[in-house]
Structure 1
């Protein structure tokens, strides 16, 4: 039977923090923050869209992400198996994204799992290799009406999420 120690609890928290930092970085199109989740020699296998060096994937994605519309990654269950300075991590992921199709906005929900090989180097846990498993997807025409009109996105009191450093996540109030 596996028993946690202070060291394993700290390692798991560091890994969890990296996964949460990844979600924040990808959704805000924050390249430097996203780079900080991966080792320089890390590999990214992102389904049929990309396989190769993780940092090249990030650099290529930043321009698309800044031009893109809404995106949100929600991390769910996180299972960590520690083996010394290596951790095998499965994270359930729900992704919402908006894309253009034939000039119209489409919303897509994708459920899947991310499988990461984390390694600890000089006391720091980062992703060394990532693979994705896609479990389901639902695409639909966008029908955004802000809770059937309850919220008005044009109202100056509405704080709308943004890409980059103008998002509320980077401010202190």
Structure 2
């Protein structure tokens, strides 16, 4: 039976922090923050859309994300198996994204899991290799009612999330 020690608890927390930082970075289209999640020599395997150096993947994604619509990565269960300076991590993920298709906005909701090989180098945990497994998906035309009109995005008191440094996560209050 596996028993946690203070060292394993700290390692798992450090790894979870990287995963949460990744979600924040990808949703806010923050390239430098996203780069900080991966080692320079890390590999990204993103289903059939990309396989190669993670930093190249990030640079290509930033071009699409900065001009794109809303996106949200919701992190669920995180299972971590530690083996010295290597950790094998399975993270459940639900993502929402909006994409244009034939001049119409479509919403896509996808459930899947991220499989990461983390490495600790000089005391710091980062992703060394990432693969994803897609479990389910739902695509449909966008239809926002903002809780049947309860919320009004056009009202200046309503704070809407946005890409980049103008988002509340960076500006604070």
Structure 2: state its 5+ residue gaps. none
Is 1:112 aligned to 2:117, yes or no? no
What residue is the counterpart of 1:65 in the other structure? 65
1:38 offset after TM fit, Å? 0.1
What residue is the counterpart of 2:79 in the other structure? 79
Aligned mates of 2:65, 2:141 — CA distance in 1: 20
1:72-103: CA deviation from partner (whole Å, max 9, x where unpaired): 00000000000000000000000000000110
* Equivalent residues in 2 for 1:122-141, closer than 5 Å: 122-141=122-141
Aligned mates of 1:56, 1:66 — CA distance in 2: 16
- The alignment's TM-score, normalised by the length of structure 2, stands at 0.99
- The alignment's TM-score, normalised by the length of structure 1, stands at 0.99
Matched residue SS, 1:163: coil
Aligned mates of 2:57, 2:149 — CA distance in 1: 38
Matched residue SS, 1:166: coil
Is 1:51 aligned to 2:41, yes or no? no
1:63 offset after TM fit, Å? 1.1
Displaced runs of 4 or more, over 4 A: none
* Equivalent residues in 2 for 1:153-172, closer than 5 Å: 153-172=153-172
What residue is the counterpart of 2:90 in the other structure? 90
1:172 offset after TM fit, Å? 2.5
Is 1:18 aligned to 2:18, yes or no? yes
1:43-79: CA deviation from partner (whole Å, max 9, x where unpaired): 0000010000000000001010011000000000000
1:171 offset after TM fit, Å? 1.5
